[in-house]
């Protein structure tokens, strides 16, 4: 499999519900580093998995929807714990929708995608699945 990865970051505020989260139950901020990796079994006619600029623009647009937001105030997240694991899956689904809408055209859609969300240099979560 060939792969292509782009990186970016975004900043949010949020809090968690449940004693398991200890002091993170209070409002706190996070700056997440994001890595979006797409994979394809073959390259397109130009020798690419996808145009790296289009992939970077797609990721930037997805992150702009959440950057500098308090996720506790976002209707889409009402009543949910926006953990690193949860956000990795949510961002993956947003990227999947963008690809399905043609964000990487004219390259063929990749076969798999992995989104890694790093909350610190020592802790991160990821979501990876086939694109259908």
pLDDT by position in tens, the chain (length 132): 999 999 999 999 999 999 999 999 999 999 999 999 999 999 999 999 999 999 999 999 999 999 999 999 999 999 999 999 999 999 999 999 999 999 999 988 999 999 999 999 999 999 999 997
CB 63 within 8 A of CB 6: no
CB 44 within 8 A of CB 21: no
Domains and CATH numbers, the chain: 2-130 (3.30.479.10)
The pTM for the full model equals 0.94
Question: Who contacts 103 (Cβ-Cβ below 8 Å, separation ≥6)?
Answer: 54, 57, 58
CA 76 to chain centre: 16
């Amino acid at each position: 499999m060939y792969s292509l990865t782009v990186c970016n970051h975004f900043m949010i505020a949020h809090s968690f519900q449940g004693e398991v989260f200890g002091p993170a139950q209070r409002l706190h901020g996070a700056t997440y580093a994001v890595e979006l990796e797409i994979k394809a079994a073959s390259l397109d006619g130009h020798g690419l998995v996808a145009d790296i600029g289009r992939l970077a623009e797609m990721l930037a647009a997805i992150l702009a929807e959440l950057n500098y937001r308090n996720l506790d105030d976002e209707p889409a997240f009402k009543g949910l714990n926006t953990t690193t694991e949860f956000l990795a899956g949510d961002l993956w689904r947003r990227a999947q929708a963008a690809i399905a809408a043609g964000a990487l055209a004219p390259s063929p859609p990749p076969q798999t995608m992995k989104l890694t969300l790093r909350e610190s240099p020592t802790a991160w979560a990821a979501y990876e699945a086939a694109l259908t």
